[in-house]
Structure 1
């Protein structure tokens, strides 16, 4: 029997009841949204300050050029187009140990699939990871995965288990989220898949070297 928590939401004055897991997910989503709003507000102030600086000062072309290069590098950093280094965590995922013994008779739930990697990456992002790589391949927002037999394709590059997912970010926050909150790693453990989490220091992640595609996107 789960514990129900009453949560007041602005839906016609009604009270919605959530179990502990639903409440935790709702709370995490709310916190993430508040952080995103706060970051957007900070960016708005920063951009306005720069506009005022350009309009009111008589800075030289060299200074403007340096500012522009700085902005370009900042955007590249956000897009994952620059190599980075920092502390974080490393997750090792592998098929269940019994998989090799069972051979072709192994149940699919004992194997690591592309969807598993996607969900773990999403959990890491929710925990505040700033940069992520799988088996040395940088992951960005448009990265696509595909399961093909015993291999997983990431943007057309084939990789096989074990999968090493490295994330740069606040170690304590990320490890606490992965070890204490409801997330996909716990589901993998229930499926008998191999899961290991360790802290890493001064870990180097490469830049994304794939193609940035935008078939339908255009500037307004």
Structure 2
């Protein structure tokens, strides 16, 4: 009887010990899980804060970039450089001049070259327009800039290495009255043309469109020099 009671007591103690061990293990596992979850939450919150900071910095940089772009676009010096170089289309009031060969019957023995338009005729017109303050000029939609070449090429005239035949349409943006008056001076360009029967028509245009130079010149030998003020 005592042996049965002793064995029963031992069994109960063993079961109690097993439950205690299991309880301890479950407690440790729970605490470990909670700790890991807390660590993950802290990590998520930390990454979230970093993301917010980076997004704010990115937004600030984009704002600064747009400000710089806007400032560059509005730089009047840059616009003036583009206009002088002919690298951008331009619009404005001015005059349009149409030149065509003479329609006068030529007399026997006369030089026929006197009755047709030559490169020097176009150059005379362009020089008068520039002197009168023309801000942009084109010949048959070829933009005229400082390095534009105008020369005879057989029966045609080459402008910016593009051959054109009459009639020649010259567009000039500037004060219409001033430009027109410069060409119509007594003994000037128009009077000389009319003497030989060269056809000249001048009209005022409220909104002229002059295209950009189609093939901007590249520079191989000329190099820019830094100014002394910039070097300081």
- Which position in structure 1 is the counterpart of 2:164? 159
- Which position in structure 1 is the counterpart of 2:81? 75
Deviation string for 1:138-187 (max 9, x for gaps)?
Answer: 11111101211211111211100011111111111112222235532322
- How big is the shift at 1:106? 4.9
Judging by fraction of residues, say which structure has more helix: 2
For residue 206 of structure 1, the aligned residue among 208, 211, 225 is: 211
Does the 8 A contact of 1:123 with 1:183 survive in 2?
A: no
Deviation string for 1:116-142 (max 9, x for gaps)?
Answer: 111111110111111111112211111
- Which position in structure 1 is the counterpart of 2:70? 66
- How big is the shift at 1:62? 4.4
TM-score for both structures, normalised by structure 2: 0.61
Q: Aligned pair 1:185/2:195, yes or no?
A: no
Local SS of the residue matching 1:180: coil
Q: Aligned pair 1:116/2:121, yes or no?
A: yes
- Which position in structure 2 is the counterpart of 1:129? 134
- Which position in structure 2 is the counterpart of 1:89? 95
Q: Aligned pair 1:219/2:202, yes or no?
A: no
For residue 174 of structure 1, the aligned residue among 155, 169, 179 is: 179
Judging by fraction of residues, say which structure has more strand: 1
CA RMSD of aligned residues (A): 2.6
Query: Could you say if the C-alpha distance between residues 181 and 81 of structure 1 is closer, same or farther in structure 2, counting changes exceeding 3 Å?
Result: farther
- Structure 1 runs of 4+ with >4 Å offset: none
Structure 1: runs of 5 or more not aligned: 1-59
Of the two, which has the highest radius of gyration? Answer: 2
Range with greater deviation from structure 2 (164-173 or 180-189): 180-189
Query: Could you say if the C-alpha distance between residues 118 and 214 of structure 1 is closer, same or farther in structure 2, counting changes exceeding 3 Å?
Result: farther
Structure 2: runs of 5 or more not aligned: 1-63, 226-232
Does the 8 A contact of 2:142 with 2:160 survive in 1?
A: no
